[in-house]
Amino acid sequence: MTHTLQPNDFVLEVSDAAWAELGRPGAQWAGAQRVAIAAAARAASPRPLWDRAPDLAELSREHSGGELSPFVAALVERVAVEPSSLTRDHVHAITDEIGDAAYAELASIVTQVVSIDHHAAALGNELRPLPAAEAGAPHRRRPEGLADVGGHIEMTEVIEGPNVRRSLSLAGADHERWMMLVFAMYSGSQFGEMVWTDRALTRPQVELLAARTSALNECFY
Amino acid sequence: MLLGLSSNAVDVEADLAAVTGNVVTGNVVTSDVVTSDVDAGVPHADLLSAFAEAAWRRDESLAPARAALQAVVGDAAVVEAAQTVAIFRSLNIAADSSGIPLDESWRGLAAEFVSDLGLDQFPTSANTPGY
């Protein structure tokens, strides 16, 4: 007989903080749009082989009553479940239309929702209700210190640590909140230490889980 | 790569192939729990790998995989396992959607095992500058 598994207190605290911000205006998207992106990310799941995702180029850019155009809704799905198919050319075609900062913020919302939702699901717990949208316009500020470092989009030029730390840094505060989730759920301050002695799992056990998940996602990085 | 480095740090020789091909092709079903026929040189690798796969699929295999892991490693370890699989799903999204280059310090190490493990067959290998 199993019982309910309680999340780590720090993970819960960081998740609460990220979730609360999802409904507030961001840098490029309004609160209602951000909640719609979160809802689309939550609804996205891998399609069976016979059900191909629609070609983004063929989807309408016009809103038809919802907060997101069919194009943006499909983009959220693509980022959430098939990011490995996004080439530099794909991303540049997308950012030519919606802007690189809007793309980064969209992807950063997806990373937050996916990590929080999958954590709850993996523990067998209910998913959180989506936050209410707050009124207000996006602030449109762009982070400083960005450069083309060879990725699909601009990112922080100078960093300490692995490149994934700067991946969606163009998304500013959303990326920082996701990095706090990474800190809380993964390595804490011990990324550079190969032996962890104060945890329930050893470092090799954690890295086996990480590597297996990355292999399932066919993530080369 | 961090699996290899952290295993070496505790004098364990991890079988890196266990995270790719062996798991995909070697699943066996025991009762209602799907376990992976894998011994990665890491304690409870089979149960951990089965949990990672079930959490990735989020289907009916998840509850029995979680219960099987919980029975052996306890609640706190399952909570850490859930954190790990969840955050790595999002780490993969951040890496692939942004196209981050491979870290310079990893390039030499990666070259040693990429083709052996078939990682160069992943579509994202072509989207990863530095490889």
Residue extents of the structural domains in chain A: 9-186, 193-221
Q: How confident is the model at residue A56 (pLDDT cuts 50, 70, 90)?
A: confident
The pLDDT, as a whole number, for residue A124 is: 96
Q: Which residue of A has its CA nearest to B44?
A: A205
The pLDDT, as a whole number, for residue B24 is: 37
Q: Is the ipTM of this complex over 0.90?
A: yes
Nearest to A2 by CA among B83, B73, B84: B73
Strands (E), A102-179: 146-147, 155-156
Q: Are B16 and A210 in contact (CB under 8 A)?
A: no
Residue type at position B80: E
Task: Indicate which of A92, A164, A168, A219 best probes the interface with B, i.e. most B CBs within 10 Å of its own CB.
Answer: A219
Asked whether the predicted pLDDT for residue B111 surpasses 80, the reply is no
Chain B hits for A107, Cβ within 8 Å: 93-94, 97-98
Asked whether the predicted pLDDT for residue B123 surpasses 70, the reply is no
Comparing CB atoms, the residue among B7, B83, B120 nearest residue A204 is: B7
Chain A hits for B41, Cβ within 8 Å: 204
Return all residues near A83 (Cβ < 8 A) that are at least 6 apart: A107, A217, B92, B93, B95, B96, B97
Q: How confident is the model at residue B28 (pLDDT cuts 50, 70, 90)?
A: very low
**B46 at interface of A, judged by CB pairs closer than 8 A:** no
The β-bridge partners of B35 are: B28
Q: Which of A90-99, A183-192, B22-31 is least confident? A: B22-31
**A178 at interface of B, judged by CB pairs closer than 8 A:** yes
Q: Which of A36-40, A49-53, A174-178 is least confident? A: A49-53
User: Quick check: A207 and B91 CB within 8 A?
Assistant: no
Angle between helices A173-182 and A9-22 (to 10 degrees): 160
The pLDDT, as a whole number, for residue A28 is: 98
Q: Which residue of B has its CA nearest to A47?
A: B57
Average pLDDT over residues B61-68: 97
**Rounded to whole angstroms, how far apart are CA atoms A161 and B106?**
12
Q: What is the pTM of this model?
A: 0.86
Q: Which of A165-174, A201-210, B32-41 is least confident? A: B32-41
User: Quick check: A204 and B48 CB within 8 A?
Assistant: no
